[in-house]
Amino acid sequence: MPSPAPADVLIIGGSYAGLSAALQLLRPGRRVTIIDAGQRRNRFAAHAHNLIGFDGVPPGEIAARARADVMAYPTLTWVEGLAESVSRGPEGFTATLTDGSRQSGAQLILATGVADELPGTPGLAPLWGSHVFHCPYCHGTELGGRRAAVLASAPVSRHQAQMVRDWGPVTYLANGADPLDEATLADFAARDVAIETAPVTSVAAAGADIETRLADGRALTFAGLFIAPAQRPASPIAAQLGCDTEETPFGSGLRVGPMQETSVPGVFACGDLAAGPQSLAAAIGRGQMAGAGAHRALLFP
């Protein structure tokens, strides 16, 4: 089967950032192909928050509305599937999907996101997005000012506890693995952050709350549990292309410039894959900049 005609811009990832990038390119009539595997990072959450105009709306509904917007443009091609590799040639970039099909574009935008590597605490993974959270701006208000917990899962967990305290009482679960120094102990005391040092052996839903079981036999119940999971790129494509990365508090992200350009000419990155702020609003804004950057590259090669 012959490959379809190349697009002006090939976008891998059809979530918020990729859709925003596409809209920026479709408005001037550019041919855009989006390859999407249907793996939005926030698919585990029932509601999205902190996005003006969409506060409390289910994430899938927001994505569906955005997809409907871009599907109204005749120069869009939408491909459902997983891109597993990308090669570069004289005319641009060609992505190979897991089914063997290929899609090409003169410019490439990577909006493939990141995967969260959750702690191995028994019972935690099934509660991700419903009882276990990452961002207090997205989920803290809905806990109603009741006591939450922060599980020590990364160096940034201490900072997370300091943040979550602004939404209500908080307990820092040091999990037997975070020996707090005197400065941190003093800071937590000043902020009225409670500390539990015993290891957490398991967690379970307790209605809308979450129960944490400790190694000393106690069970503590909280309105919600916050963690700081490590992140890794959800796709190997950026690494295949040799895009430079930089370290972030949660892992590594692609180093990008003002127009979301990567270190590889013709390749742009947006959304959580690119190093920088992570939120729906940030993904949409940076997606728009990536689309503008790719458009500029087409106009001024």
CA 132 – CA 225 distance, rounded (Å): 5
pLDDT at 3: 66
Same fold, 7-115+230-299 and 125-226: yes
Kindly give the confidence (pLDDT) of every residue in the chain, 301 residues in length, as a single tens digit, with 9 standing for 90 and above. Answer: 456 789 999 999 999 999 999 999 999 999 999 999 999 999 999 999 999 999 999 999 999 999 999 999 999 999 999 999 999 999 899 999 999 999 999 999 999 999 999 999 999 999 999 999 999 999 999 999 999 999 999 999 999 999 999 999 999 999 998 889 999 999 999 999 999 999 999 999 999 999 999 999 999 999 999 999 999 999 999 999 999 999 988 889 999 999 999 999 999 999 999 999 999 999 999 999 999 999 999 999 9
pLDDT at 161: 98
Contacts of 121 (CB under 8 A, 6+ apart): 151, 200, 201, 202, 203
pLDDT at 177: 83
Closest CA to 288 of 24, 16, 14, 10: 24
User: Global pTM?
Assistant: 0.94
pLDDT at 246: 95
At the topology level, CATH places domain 125-226 in FAD/NAD(P)-binding domain (3.50.50)
The CA-based dihedral angle spanning residues 209, 215, 216, 219, taken in that order and rounded to the nearest 10 degrees: 10
pLDDT at 178: 83
pLDDT at 249: 86
Query: Domain 7-115+230-299 maps to which CATH number in 3.40.50.300, 3.50.50.60, 3.40.50.1820, 3.30.365.10?
Result: 3.50.50.60
Instruction: Report whether 76 contacts 67 (CB < 8 A).
Output: no
Instruction: Report whether 225 contacts 134 (CB < 8 A).
Output: no
pLDDT at 250: 86
Q: Where are the domains of the chain?
A: 7-115+230-299, 125-226
Query: How many helices and strands, by DSSP H and E, does the chain display?
Result: 7, 19
